[in-house]
């Protein structure tokens, strides 16, 4: 059953992984916010991941003394369902390496370095998985990131594109499950007001090249402040604090341009205090605040794209007792090596109504400067 030190190495590595995992979660802004808000959960089971989504409310009925009330059962919920997904990172140590590092301390040091490298690799890769489309070709084994429900068609003049996709078995198209929407003299949805069920599963895709924002050119540079303001206001679908965005994470070049624009707008108050910003309280300094929402950047976000996150409305679910679980070392006689892996099994649940995407659908060929080819 392997070398006599295998049991010692196994227990040492497991302890190391569990302790180091906390630091991994703190290094990425989105993961750090999910951890802070308790939105990472463990030990999930079942053949699929499902959860209930409240999609409509009961209407108030005017009542006068002597009126007769009507009682009927109300179906308020839909069921969202996703399959489980998984990842693994592996490494090994050959018998030759074992013979060169016979001392117990040397072997444990070698394996702790392997564990450290594996976790660094998983941190770098896993942090970007929050942005992938789990339905896209070739992504059937990857988690359902935010792009899984952000497909849309351009809708000129109202600041936002119209969602066209589906997520977790439910349509994201506004009005797919009934309800009414009244925009009045304003452009169409999301402007105006209507029934909760009309857009209960519709994300907000802000088209920052849209003419609604009135920039001199249909570009991020001209429209970034107004587009973010639009996203903050139109995405707040609840009276409680849990209904508002925690932050916008945008592409690094977009952030550079945005900061430049903010410096020119003296009427905009830019705040950098831990009391105002949960990200600054977590130790991130590259953050500004607009209209009560943190604006920052993170490596790995698709080019010319940004996302508004409400971390109370998403949950990273692991099927295991911790996020990244080590296995091994197991001896492979055929290759005379000891094999080691770290894996994740789970998926991400989203209440898609509370999330925002920033993209230039009006002029997609060059979203950052507004020119077209």
pLDDT 10s digits, 40-54: 999 999 999 999 998
Hey, how many other C-beta atoms are within 10 angstroms of the C-beta on 106?
A: 12
Burial class (CB in 10 A: 0-12, 13-18, 19+), 68: exposed
Q: How confident is the model at residue 9 (pLDDT cuts 50, 70, 90)?
A: low
| Mean per-residue pLDDT, 292-300 | 91
* Rounded CA separation 28/26 (Å): 6
pLDDT 10s digits, 85-104: 999 988 888 888 777 877 76
End-to-end CA distance of the chain: 64
Question: Does residue 222 form part of some domain?
Answer: no
Question: Does residue 131 form part of some domain?
Answer: yes
Is the predicted pLDDT of residue 173 greater than 80, yes or no?
A: yes
DSSP state of 349: E
Q: Which residue has the tokens 């996150």?
A: 309
CB under 8 Å to 106, separation ≥6 — which residues?
Answer: none
Which of 26-35, 83-92, 165-174, 342-351 has the weakest average pLDDT?
A: 26-35
* Rounded CA separation 158/212 (Å): 6
In this prediction, residue 8 carries a pLDDT of: 59
| Mean per-residue pLDDT, 259-270 | 68
To the nearest whole number, what is the mean pLDDT of the chain? 84
| Mean per-residue pLDDT, 178-198 | 89
Question: How many domains, the chain?
Answer: 1
Question: Does residue 282 form part of some domain?
Answer: no
Question: Does residue 351 form part of some domain?
Answer: yes
pLDDT 10s digits, 232-255: 999 986 555 677 899 999 999 999
Q: Which residue has the tokens 């898609």?
A: 352
Question: Does residue 275 form part of some domain?
Answer: no
DSSP state of 317: E
Question: Does residue 125 form part of some domain?
Answer: yes
For residues 371 and 73, the model is more confident at 73
Question: For the chain, what is the HEC assignment?
Answer: CCCCCHHHHHHHHHHHHHHHHHHHHHHCHHHHHHHHCCCEECCCCCCCEEEEEECCCCCCCCCCCCCCCCCCCCCCEEEEEECCEEEEEEEEEEHHHHHHCCCHHHHHHHHHHHHHHHHHHHHHHHHHHHHCCCCCCCCCCCCCCHHHHCCEECCCCCCEEEECCEECCEECCCCCCCCCEECCCCCCCCCCEECHHHCCCCCEEEECCCHHHCCCCCCHHHHHHHHHHHHHHHCCCCCCHHHCCCEEEECHHHHHHHHHHHHHCCCCCCCCCCCCCHHHHCCCCCCEEECCEEEEECCCCCCCCEEEECHHHEEEEECCCCCCEEEEEEEECCCCEEEEEEEEEEEEEECHHHCEEEECCCCCCCCCCCCCC
* Rounded CA separation 195/184 (Å): 14
Question: Does residue 250 form part of some domain?
Answer: no
Cα–Cα distances in angstroms (integers) from residue 173 to residues 135, 147, 163, 263, in the given order: 17, 15, 5, 38
Domain boundaries, position 42: 1-54+78-213+229-242+310-373
Contact call for residues 27 and 279 (beta carbons, < 8 A): no
Contact call for residues 282 and 311 (beta carbons, < 8 A): no
In this prediction, residue 67 carries a pLDDT of: 66
Question: Does residue 72 form part of some domain?
Answer: no
Q: How confident is the model at residue 25 (pLDDT cuts 50, 70, 90)?
A: low
Please work out, in degrees rounded to the nearest 5, the angle formed at the alpha carbon of residue 317 by the alpha carbons of 125 and 46: 125
In this prediction, residue 305 carries a pLDDT of: 96
pTM for the whole structure:
0.86
């Amino acid at each position: 059953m392997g070398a006599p030190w295998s049991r010692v190495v196994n227990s040492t590595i497991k302890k190391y992984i569990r302790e180091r995992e906390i630091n991994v979660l703190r290094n990425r802004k989105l993961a750090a916010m999910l951890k802070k808000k308790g939105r990472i959960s463990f030990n999930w089971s079942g053949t699929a991941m499902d959860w209930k989504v409240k999609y409509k409310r009961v209407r108030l009925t005017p009542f006068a003394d002597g009126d007769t009330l009507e009682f009927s059962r109300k179906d308020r919920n839909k069921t969202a369902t996703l399959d489980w997904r998984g990842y693994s990172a592996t490494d090994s140590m050959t018998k030759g390496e074992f013979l060169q590092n016979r001392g117990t301390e040397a072997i444990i040091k070698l394996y702790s370095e392997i564990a450290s490298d594996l976790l660094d690799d998983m941190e770098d890769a896993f942090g970007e998985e929050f942005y992938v489309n789990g339905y896209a070709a070739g992504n059937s084994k990857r988690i359902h990131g935010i792009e899984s429900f952000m497909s849309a068609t351009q809708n000129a003049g109202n600041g936002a594109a119209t969602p066209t996709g589906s997520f977790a078995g439910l349509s994201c198209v506004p009005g797919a499950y009934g309800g009414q929407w009244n925009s009045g003299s304003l452009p169409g949805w999301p402007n105006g007001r209507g029934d909760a069920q009309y857009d209960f599963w519709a994300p907000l895709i802000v088209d920052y090249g849209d003419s609604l924002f009135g920039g001199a050119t249909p570009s991020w540079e001209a429209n970034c402040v107004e587009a973010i303001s639009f996203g903050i206001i139109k995405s707040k679908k609840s009276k409680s604090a849990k209904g508002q965005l925690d932050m916008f994470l945008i592409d690094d070049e977009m952030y550079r341009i945005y900061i430049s624009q903010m410096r020119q707008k003296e009427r905009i108050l830019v705040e950098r205090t831990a009391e105002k910003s949960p990200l600054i309280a977590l130790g991130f300094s590259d953050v500004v605040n607009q209209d009560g929402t943190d604006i920052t950047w993170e490596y790995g976000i698709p080019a010319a794209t940004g996302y508004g996150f409400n971390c109370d409305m998403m949950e990273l679910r692991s099927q295991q007792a911790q996020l990244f679980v080590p296995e091994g070392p197991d001896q492979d006689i055929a290759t005379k090596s000891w094999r080691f892996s770290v894996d994740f099994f789970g998926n991400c649940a989203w209440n898609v109504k509370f999330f925002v995407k920033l993209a230039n659908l009006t002029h997609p060929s060059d979203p950052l400067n507004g020119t077209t080819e």
